[in-house]
Amino acid sequence: MTNQLTRREWHRLVLGGLGASALASTARGAGKMIDSRLHGVLIGAQSYSFRDRPLDKAIEAYAAVPLGEAELWQGHVEPRPDFARMQQMSSEEKAADREALRKWRLTTPLSTFHAIGDKFRAAGVDLYAYNYSFQDSFTDAEIDRGFEMAKALGAKVITASANQKTVPRIAAAADKHKMRVGMHNHSRIDPNEFATAEDLEKAMAASRYICTNLDIGHFTAANQDSVAFLKKHHDRIVTLHIKDRKKDQGDTTPFGEGDAPIKEVLGVLKQNKWPIPANIEYEYKGADSVDEVRRCLEYCKKALAS
């Protein structure tokens, strides 16, 4: 089997996924779907943007902004670690906590995830992607379970802050489930991380289902070219994270105050009509998260109107 999808196959997967998601919304009793397309570009959000809120309040936040497409952060689904407590824990206690999380992943009924997906759709929000970050510590069963969770949610793709060493096992599961996984890049340069174009290209060579979740803020901080990567690999990018950062491992900033080419990236999507969700990820220090995401959305509106 070739590791490359043809352009026709790719667009059938992407457009078919979006269409299937809309049909699922209708079939499962969704409310009126929020339309957050701007000049043909789908603007959504990574739910990490609303990390100050529990899941139900995060869903309300999407409707309040409003945004009609979601990439669901696993931190809104799984039990969240108490990082302050972890600083005081022994290695044995940390291992016990890790095993408890593994058990939660493997034994939580899939009906739990169906119900979460239905909550998004009832609010008029398409849950397009599930952010489930496969790590080296994951067992094969945990990896496989991530695909089952994503399908139960009604998500069409998985995004993952994963490790290079884990890619072969992720690829095997992705091939089995025939589901695309977008590797999420950060700015840290490390052999086991995804930071550069070469890192992402190496991962994508493992399977036609291994793709990229391109974070243009982190890519900029690692002194990479988001526009060039988008143009070269648009058929292997499942979602974009839209944020702003300074070059040279610089800080995350409000939109328009950093070096990330937000306007240029949105312009390329608009010009080429590529069906790649552009998900706002609010990470800089601001005020209320709904207000800040709304501020990010206004920036995108102005960029796409120009």
Query: Looking at this protein, which amino acid is placed at residue 213?
Result: N
Number of domains in the chain: 1
- Give the residue from 196, 188, 184 showing the smallest Cα distance to 160: 184
| 51, part of any domain | yes
Q: What pLDDT does residue 30 have?
A: 62
Q: Which CATH number goes with the domain that contains 296? A: 3.20.20.150
For residue 134, is it within any domain?
yes
How many other β-carbons are positioned within 10 Å of the β-carbon of residue 31?
12
Residue 180 placed within a domain: yes
Establish whether the linkage from the previous residue to 79 is cis, with ω within 30° of 0. Answer: no
CB 174 within 8 A of CB 209: yes
- Asked whether residue 1 is assigned to any structural domain, the reply reads no
Determine the Cα angle at 202 with ends 201 and 205, to 5°.
85
pTM for the whole structure = 0.89
Residue-level pLDDT at 127: 98
Domain range for 42 is: 7-305
Instruction: Name the stretches of the chain with pLDDT < 50.
Output: 1-29
Give percent of the chain with pLDDT exceeding 90. 85
Structure tokens at 252: 């995350």
242, 280 in Cβ contact below 8 A?
Answer: yes
pLDDT digits (tens, 9 = 90+) for 3-39: 444 444 444 444 444 444 444 444 444 679 999 999 9
Cα separation, 222 vs 186, in Å, equals: 8
Helix H or strand E encompassing 126: strand 126-131
| Residue 2 is assigned to a structural domain of this protein | no
Strand partners, 148: none
